[in-house]
């Protein structure tokens, strides 16, 4: 059990501003101070306030440091982690006059937010399945596998009113109902992670900061709309490599064991692998059919 946790933002914005070096410096300085058994360093997904990155949050105080540079790490460790005195000059300041904020939840940017799709982003280490489980992760999948029929899952999604994030806003439950009723020797679940629509939700934030919720949603979809397929495939249109968490996760969905070998990645423009003669594809939108359906199934809204 650690007395303090140092959360370093690992989102794209903060990473491009040097957060990996900040994380390395924290580990080195904490070890030099003999605090390695008391303080942990955690890389998280995007916190959302990218304009003030690199961002570091120290818990349990929830002190919110902004514009942190690698050379600032020694002072944070020496003053805050050793002496309990937050470094005032690095604490995030509001843009309004006379407002000085010390904790994350006190900031005007965060205090009125009720996060659903991004509830775990910036809070957990996305590459540790234990942290996702600690935040009620995989409860929805467990419920689907043990207490619900596929038709009950579909009815729950229909009743929730979930819709796709595209222009048509097609009902998610109806899409799943059609996919379940379609007769095909092999069905595929494809996670749509496209970033091409101007003004659309950035799926990258979920992929980076909460990948297990995507995997959980895909497993639920495979069980509900596709039966128990031998493999799931995820085509990623967004640039860059998928999170290593996606490559290391092991899930059990009915009789299908979904491992790293069952996921296939190919870049845009490259021909996809050969398909069966009559395949059926179920496209999953991360925001509506992914994160939100997991929440809807895990508990009553």
Q: At which of 106, 140, 157 does a domain end?
A: 106
Average of per-residue pLDDT across 83-102? 78
* Res 84: pLDDT: 92
Residue burial 142-164, b: 16+ Cβ < 10 Å; e: rest = ebbeeebebeebbebbeebebbb
DSSP structure class, residue 262: G
* Res 169: pLDDT: 77
Q: Are residues 102 and 140 in the same domain?
A: no
pLDDT of residue 131 exceeding 60, the answer is yes
For the chain, the domain total comes to 2
Q: Are residues 96 and 148 in the same domain?
A: no
Q: At which of 72, 91, 106 does a domain end?
A: 106
Q: Are residues 169 and 288 in the same domain?
A: yes
Comparing 190-199, 210-219, 264-273, which segment has the lowest mean pLDDT?
264-273
Q: Are residues 99 and 136 in the same domain?
A: no
For residue 133, name the pLDDT band (cuts at 50, 70, 90). very high
pLDDT of residue 65 exceeding 50, the answer is yes
Other beta carbons less than 10 A from residue 139's beta carbon: 16
The secondary structure element, H or E, covering residue 13 is: helix 12-16
Contact 176, 225 (CB under 8 A): yes
Q: Are residues 146 and 282 in the same domain?
A: yes
């Amino acid at each position: 059990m650690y007395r303090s946790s140092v959360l370093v933002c690992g989102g794209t914005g903060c990473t491009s501003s040097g957060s990996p070096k900040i994380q390395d410096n924290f580990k080195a300085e904490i070890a030099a101070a003999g605090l390695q058994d008391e303080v942990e360093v955690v890389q998280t997904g995007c916190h959302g306030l990218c304009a003030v990155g690199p961002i570091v949050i120290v818990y349990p105080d929830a002190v919110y440091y902004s514009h942190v540079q690698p050379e600032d790490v020694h002072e944070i460790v020496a003053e805050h982690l050793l002496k309990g005195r937050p470094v005032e000059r690095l604490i995030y300041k509001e843009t309004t006059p006379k407002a000085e904020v010390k904790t994350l939840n006190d900031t005007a940017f965060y205090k009125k937010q009720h996060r659903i799709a991004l509830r775990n982003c910036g809070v957990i280490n996305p590459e540790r399945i234990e942290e996702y489980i600690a935040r009620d992760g995989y409860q929805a999948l467990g419920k689907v596998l043990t207490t619900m029929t596929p038709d009950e899952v579909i009815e729950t999604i229909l009743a929730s009113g979930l819709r796709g994030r595209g222009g048509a806003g097609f009902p998610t439950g109806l899409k799943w109902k059609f996919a379940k009723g379609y007769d095909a020797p092999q069905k595929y679940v494809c996670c749509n992670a496209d970033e091409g629509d101007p003004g659309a939700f950035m799926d990258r934030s979920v992929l980076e900061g909460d990948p297990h919720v995507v995997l959980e949603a895909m497993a639920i979809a495979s069980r509900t709309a596709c039966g128990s397929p031998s493999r799931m495939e995820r085509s990623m249109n967004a640039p860059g490599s998928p999170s290593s968490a996606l490559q290391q996760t092991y899930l059990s969905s009915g009789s299908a064991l979904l491992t790293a070998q069952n996921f296939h990645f190919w870049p845009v423009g490259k021909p996809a692998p050969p398909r069966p003669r009559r395949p059926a594809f179920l496209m999953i939108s991360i925001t509506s059919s992914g994160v939100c359906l997991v929440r809807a199934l895990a508990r009553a809204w």
